[in-house]
């Protein structure tokens, strides 16, 4: 295998590498974001904020949203799920959302920052999947934060993605590039 080929493969795989990894959404604090000049969050919904089959926000998550708002951090939920799922979750919280986002495509990310009236340099993308959230955020030039999925089960399409992600994660772990650990 030539060095050029290895470099190209590595460059491709780096698109799946998050800028940060945290255990869960609650490890992301508004004070830390503001210190880095962050004014906005684009976040996934399913298995990032709550389990993919949980219809409503938990009290702890409601408090997290409130703290972000109190610190002037804007939040938009960007999900590949349908309007009913995302809207029924986001509307009671008063959180703007984009559904059927087609991540990792970049259109929904660009739409979110336009709606929040912020620059991509002032925005982080948070999610639990390399193939949608991290790849989409990285390709669009955002700072990406990977969270451990809040549930061990997934919807149909995500199950396929997880198999591919495990291979990429194992590569990153072997290279010492990621400290990913599943919840016990």
Residue 8 lies in a domain: no
* 3-state DSSP assignment of residue 166: helix
Residue 130 lies in a domain: yes
**Number of structural domains in the chain:** 1
pTM of the model: 0.86
Q: What is the CATH number of the domain that holds 64?
A: 3.40.50.1000
What value does the mean pLDDT of the chain take? 89
- Could you say which DSSP state residue 103 is in? T
Residue-level pLDDT at 183? 43
pLDDT tens track for 130-141: 999 999 999 999
Residue 144 lies in a domain: yes
Rounded to whole angstroms, the Cα distance separating 54 from 47 reads 9
Residue 154 lies in a domain: yes
Residue 9 lies in a domain: no
DSSP per-residue codes, 4-67 = HHHHHHHHHHHTT--SEEESSGGG--HHHHHHTT--EEEE--BTTTB-TT--S--HHHHHHHHH
- Residue pair 98/116 in contact (Cβ under 8 Å)? The answer is no
The whole domain housing 153 covers: 17-174
Rounded to whole angstroms, the Cα distance separating 88 from 167 reads 34
For residues 56-66, average pLDDT: 97
Rounded to whole angstroms, the Cα distance separating 28 from 60 reads 13
Residue 183 lies in a domain: no
State percent of the chain over pLDDT 70: 87
Residue-level pLDDT at 6? 63
Residue 114 lies in a domain: yes
Residue-level pLDDT at 157? 62
Structure tokens at 86: 């995302």
Residue 6 lies in a domain: no
- The closest of 75, 133, 61, 77 to 104, measured between CA atoms, is 133
């Amino acid at each position: 295998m030539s060095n050029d080929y290895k470099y190209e493969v590595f460059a491709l795989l780096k698109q799946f590498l998050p800028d940060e990894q945290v255990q869960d959404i609650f490890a992301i604090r508004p004070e830390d974001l503001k210190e880095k000049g962050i004014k906005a969050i684009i976040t996934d919904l399913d298995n990032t904020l709550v389990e993919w089959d949980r219809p409503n926000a938990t009290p702890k998550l409601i408090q997290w949203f409130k703290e972000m708002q109190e610190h002037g951090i804007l939040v938009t939920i960007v999900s590949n799920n349908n309007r009913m799922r995302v809207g029924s979750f986001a509307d009671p919280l008063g959180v703007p959302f984009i559904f059927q986002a087609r991540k990792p495509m970049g259109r929904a990310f660009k739409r979110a920052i336009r709606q929040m009236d912020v620059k991509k340099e002032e925005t982080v993308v948070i999610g639990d999947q390399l193939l949608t959230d991290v790849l989409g955020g990285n390709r669009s030039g955002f700072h990406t934060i990977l969270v451990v999925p809040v549930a061990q089960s997934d919807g149909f399409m995500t199950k396929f993605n997880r198999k591919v992600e495990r291979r990429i994660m194992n590569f990153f772990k072997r290279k010492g590039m990621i400290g990913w650990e599943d919840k016990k």
